[in-house]
Structure 1
């Protein structure tokens, strides 16, 4: 039974790591930008992108990665899967959020606020 749990956790680590890597590619995030969002060094993010490092369920970076995936999915739904529109929204100053979302999501607080903002906006649509 312990082996099955460990295998499931390893799968979750791998899947989230791959999703984060794809999001970084879609949003054209640098290793430094992604690292700031996840609380990782640029070197760790480089290894993540190359496949030699995985997020671990027991670390804060995993939880932050889950929020990043949630933001990506919500923004993708709002923008009709238009990556250019999503990137434009992320890089444009938002009066409600009082800043550019791409800058705000570099902190834990900002990531939560931007994610909640997009989720709230989706609920109204």
Structure 2
């Protein structure tokens, strides 16, 4: 998805140095709950684009009329991250 370390740190509510020292994910932590959502986003999107890195990056950094913005920008807010994950979940759901 090519998120910069600074963008990732902002998203998770940590500074870059703390992010670099992180040893793992604690699901009971609010910050790490966001990290799990980001992983879920990546996995869902990866499946939808057939593991094509270029398509994944394109989708993530291009305006999307269904989500109403650029996903890479939208996920910088917790609500936006949740909305994008829900959107991708709906796209993957069987009809």
- Greater length-normalized contact order (CA 8 Å, ≥ 6 residues apart): 2
Counterparts of 1:69 and 1:57, CA distance in 2: 12
Instruction: Report what 2:9 is aligned to.
Output: 35
Counterparts of 2:94 and 2:7, CA distance in 1: 30
* Larger Rg computed on CA atoms: 1
Which of 95, 106, 124 is 2:65 aligned to? 95
TM-aligned CA deviation for residue 36 of structure 1:
1.6
Instruction: Report what 1:47 is aligned to.
Output: 21
CA contact (8 A) 1:31 1:43 kept: no
What is the root-mean-square deviation in Å for CA atoms of aligned residues?
1.6
Is structure 2 residue 41 aligned with structure 1 residue 71?
A: yes
Consecutive unaligned residues of structure 1, counting only runs of 5 or more, are: 1-26
TM-aligned CA deviation for residue 77 of structure 1:
0.5
Q: Please, which moves more after superposition, 112-121 or 58-67?
A: 58-67
What are the Cα deviations for residues 73-95 of structure 1, in whole angstroms up to 9, with x where unaligned?
11011010111111110000011
TM-score w.r.t. length of structure 2: 0.88
Is structure 2 residue 32 aligned with structure 1 residue 62?
A: yes
TM-score w.r.t. length of structure 1: 0.68
Instruction: Report what 1:13 is aligned to.
Output: none
Q: Which has the higher helix share?
A: 1
Consecutive unaligned residues of structure 2, counting only runs of 5 or more, are: none
